[in-house]
Structure 1
């Protein structure tokens, strides 16, 4: 691949760190070291894999018409438009599993359906840990929000967060999990409270680093 020569200004302390990484074996020069760490940083910020958590009892939602199209079709189109190239749908086997597979196979993004009997969304996600090597996005299977996912990815990377939850506001919060914030951080979460001091609710969208699985021991819920 042809490379272009460019001139950049770098802070002296940062340049010292770059130079310290030159080992004469894998990284033999300053330009090679800068190229390596730039590529590494871009890979870590970019997310290419998504997981849809779809309860077997909610599987029918995948076929529900939204703007004249099945919900799952819109979800997969949303991911494709935001740079996602691979989608895993985690669900349980039901009488509509065949229809789900047929619908997913007709969409323009590589989609695989995985069945599990794990209880709770955290345990369901844990069941595919070996399939998730880098950062990934998770969507609740009965939700759809059309927004700029890549902007959310950038915020996630800037904060160097282990987990980022997508939030939205609703006047009636009784059908949603609600979040109490302190700046950019969620300090409390309540699942469908009768009364809530906030109108900020869970949008059913999450970004995770792969290290998140280290916190999943014994957990059933992603939110708790």
Structure 2
């Protein structure tokens, strides 16, 4: 069995964070999201992994997965999940495979879905109960067998949404070959699954155990960061001077915590600096990030982001790569903002 991770999307719901880089490389709990996908596949016994990238995402994805020994498949234009599978046909060959959306996170991995793929089963679909199924593909079950699948229905027939992992027999490639574009002009994986059902094949639904996150919006990133930090094991490899660390705190090699308070769970990345500052629970700092004479909690600071000399505590915030928030002295006393498209600021 092979693994296929999809990482070619533009991540429009997360702009401006994704204006310059793809969603799967954004860090949660100190690591790019796509790392968790690769490791979940390998924990399920899948060693041969392909990653579908686009011309826009390829460079960043390759950098994030350097040393992981995966193969890359180029999808020139985003035309839907089923199209991404079709362009990977040469890589997949005649093997069954796990299709994994590169921006999804599963607390307990994907082994139950792989284990449910047995003789006579053409597909296994991960399912999760959600409050508003209208934003997802929705499954109708008889026992464990899926008998109908609908893409973002206005009147959902159940609360079982399709999560971001699928296990397929190679015959799904033949179904995809015959697909027509949907109303939005894409080749939908839900249509491919429905095609298997219509051909009388057995498609099994398995509910997700533990939490599942689709990191499609900023609040989802923050929640995913919280959930992953809850499972953090404390570790101090960097320099800690005149500071108090409480709870589960990771200080990576090359990081410095000086005359500060850090309350876990919190992650201080390689080369980050926390000086005369407060870092509160559910906060992660990426490599080279800085928090100086400031306070922050329940937030994500990406690589080389900086929070300096800010009087009010920062909460529920995400600072992208190289973003800076700092105070301004002198007159006139005013806020000075340089914001990209779709940015959001709340001032107290």
2:118 to 120, 137, 157: 157
Given the alignment of the two structures, is residue 112 of structure 1 paired with residue 79 of structure 2, yes or no?
no
Match runs of 1:87-106 below 5 Å: 87-94=49-56, 96-106=57-67
Following TM superposition, where does structure 1 have runs of at least 4 consecutive aligned residues deviating by more than 6 angstroms? none
Counterparts of 1:156 and 1:140 in 2: how far apart (Å)?
Answer: 18
CA distance in 2, matches of 1:144, 1:191: 21
**TM-superposed deviation, 1:83:** 1.2
Would you say the 8 A contact 1:134–1:210 is kept in 2? yes
Output the CA distance in 2 between the equivalents of 1:168 and 1:146.
13
Q: Measure the CA separation in 2 of the matches of 1:137 and 1:164.
A: 9
Q: How does 1:33-112 map to 2 (within 5 A)?
A: 47=1, 49-58=2-11, 60-94=22-56, 96-107=57-68, 110-112=69-71
Q: State how far apart, in whole Å, the 2-side matches of 1:66 and 1:200 are.
A: 26
Q: Distance in 2 between matches of 1:55 and 1:191?
A: 20
How much has 1:148 moved relative to structure 2? 4.8
Between the aligned partners of 2:29 and 2:154, the Cα distance in structure 1 is 31
Unaligned runs of 5+ in 1: 1-46
Where 1:171 maps in the other structure, the secondary structure is: coil
Paired residue secondary structure (2:163): strand
Match of residue 242 from structure 2: none
RMSD: 2.0
Residue 169 of structure 2 is matched in structure 1 by 209
- For 2:151 and 2:177, the matched residues in 1 are separated by 21
The structure having more radius of gyration, on CA atoms, is 2
Please state which structure has a larger fraction of its residues in strand: 2
Higher relative contact order (CA 8 A, sep 6+): 1
Separation (CA, whole Å) in 2 of partners of 1:72 and 1:154: 22
- Shifted more, 186-195 versus 77-86: the winner is 186-195
Task: Give the secondary-structure state (helix, strand or coil) at the position aligned to 2:188.
Answer: coil
CA-to-partner distance for each residue in 1:48-78, whole Å, 9 max, x for gaps? x100122331362112222332101111111
